[in-house]
């Protein structure tokens, strides 16, 4: 089967080539990939940034989420059958959606929203699960809470804004000048133009902040919170709790303890909690998201669509930081 493969780690590594069809385990579903979204995570994996946490065997097929059609199911699979239209975020130890076919664990898969095409559906799993696991699972966001979501025009931001509004929260976000009106249309109550304003001097007393940017933005997000608030970051630094939960080696746990010491100490001083979230595949949560999509509470935002042969161009566009919403590869 055709796939986008990396043979070694590096920023510009990758090629289109032939790979064997994936092995189907008893609890797996073999899916023909119609579309796969391109995430910043894919670029980080390609560069080797996650090598200590996700020690993949090379050559590796990139790609973390997808939409497609069931081809075959394992002997223990009961929820899906050939011909079903599905979508998923692949488990992080079995990625490979930039390919014609992928084997997905039944528990990580969900029926595709009936009101979406394959390209729109493929844009959702990773970012929607990230929004769910940060806002619903970790922050336990409730009606009346005030949440600041960084980078509102990005892949996670566009979905997180919609989910937070569905939950009844008051939402502030940051974006560039060109995207202010567009992000307001997604539901944001306050939009901070980061080119003209400093979020840490404009917002105060928030219950939750969701950070997806770098160190400077992380520390500014901390200043937005009230005492007792919660800073959640999906861009790091990872915490000792995360390292322990992943079962990482003791030296790596100590390294992450050191890397996150500054923000953890500052959070304690300010009387707020700090949590690093590395999203995971979860078919049950994805079914909840499917319901919200079908009810019209969440709509996908797709910026550009590329064919598989232009995966390099798609990755470069994501790396540029100019995407409004998601970038998707279309295979069928």
- Count the neighbouring beta carbons within 10 Å of the beta carbon of residue 193: 16
User: How many whole angstroms separate alpha carbon 117 and alpha carbon 307?
Assistant: 16
User: How many whole angstroms separate alpha carbon 7 and alpha carbon 48?
Assistant: 12
Q: Are 39 and 279 in contact (CB under 8 A)?
A: no
Q: Are 105 and 115 in contact (CB under 8 A)?
A: no
Write the CA distances from 40 to 62, 63, 212, 246, integer angstroms.
12, 10, 11, 21
- The SS3 assignment for 189 reads coil
Q: Are 29 and 73 in contact (CB under 8 A)?
A: yes
Q: Quick one: pLDDT at residue 236? A: 87
Helical segments of 132-189, H only: 155-166, 180-186
Q: Are 208 and 229 in contact (CB under 8 A)?
A: yes
- Count the neighbouring beta carbons within 10 Å of the beta carbon of residue 24: 17
Tens place of pLDDT per residue across the chain (332 aa): 999 999 999 998 999 999 999 999 999 999 999 999 999 999 999 999 988 888 899 999 999 999 999 999 999 999 999 999 999 999 999 999 999 999 999 999 999 999 999 999 999 999 999 999 999 999 999 999 999 999 999 999 999 999 999 999 999 999 999 999 999 999 999 999 998 999 999 999 999 999 998 888 899 999 999 999 999 999 989 999 999 998 989 999 999 999 999 999 999 999 999 999 999 999 999 999 999 999 999 999 999 999 999 999 999 999 998 899 999 999 99
Q: Quick one: pLDDT at residue 280? A: 96
**What's the fold here for domain 127-276?**
Rossmann fold (3.40.50)
In the chain, where the domains are located: 2-124+300-330, 127-276
The H or E element containing residue 44 is helix 40-47
Q: Quick one: pLDDT at residue 231? A: 98
Q: Which CATH superfamily is domain 2-124+300-330 in?
A: Medium-chain alcohol dehydrogenases, catalytic domain (3.90.180.10)
Helical axes 250-259 vs 261-270, angle rounded to 10°? 50
Helical segments of 207-308, H only: 215-224, 240-246, 250-259, 261-270, 283-294
């Amino acid at each position: 089967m055709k796939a986008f493969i990396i043979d070694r780690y590096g920023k510009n590594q990758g090629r289109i080539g032939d790979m064997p069809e994936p092995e189907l385990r008893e609890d797996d579903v073999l899916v023909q990939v119609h579309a796969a979204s391109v995430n910043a995570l894919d670029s980080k994996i390609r560069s080797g940034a996650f090598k200590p946490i996700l020690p993949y065997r090379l050559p590796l097929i990139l790609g973390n989420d997808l939409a497609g059609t069931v081809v075959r199911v394992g002997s223990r699979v009961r929820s899906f059958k050939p011909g079903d239209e599905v979508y998923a975020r692949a488990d992080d130890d079995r990625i490979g959606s930039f390919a014609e076919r992928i084997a997905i664990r039944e528990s990580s898969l969900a029926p595709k929203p009936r009101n979406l095409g394959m390209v729109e559906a493929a844009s959702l799993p990773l970012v929607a699960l990230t929004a769910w696991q940060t806002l619903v699972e970790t922050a336990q966001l409730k009606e009346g809470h005030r949440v600041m979501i960084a980078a509102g025009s990005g892949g996670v931001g566009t979905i997180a804004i919609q989910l937070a509004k569905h939950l009844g929260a008051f939402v502030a976000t940051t974006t560039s000048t060109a995207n202010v009106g567009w992000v307001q249309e997604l539901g944001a109550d306050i939009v901070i133009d980061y080119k003209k304003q400093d979020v840490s001097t404009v917002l105060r007393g928030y219950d939750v902040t969701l950070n997806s940017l770098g160190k400077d933005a992380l520390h500014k997000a901390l200043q937005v919170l009230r005492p007792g608030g919660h800073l959640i970051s999906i861009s790091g630094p990872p915490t000792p709790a995360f390292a322990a939960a992943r079962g990482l080696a003791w030296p790596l746990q100590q390294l992450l303890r050191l890397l996150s010491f500054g923000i953890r100490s500052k959070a304690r001083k300010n009387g707020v909690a700090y949590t690093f979230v590395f999203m995971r595949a979860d078919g049950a949560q994805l079914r909840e998201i499917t319901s919200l999509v079908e009810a019209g509470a969440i709509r996908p935002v797709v910026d550009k669509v590329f064919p598989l042969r232009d995966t390099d161009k798609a990755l470069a566009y994501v790396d540029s930081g100019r995407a409004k919403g998601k970038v998707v590869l279309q295979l069928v």
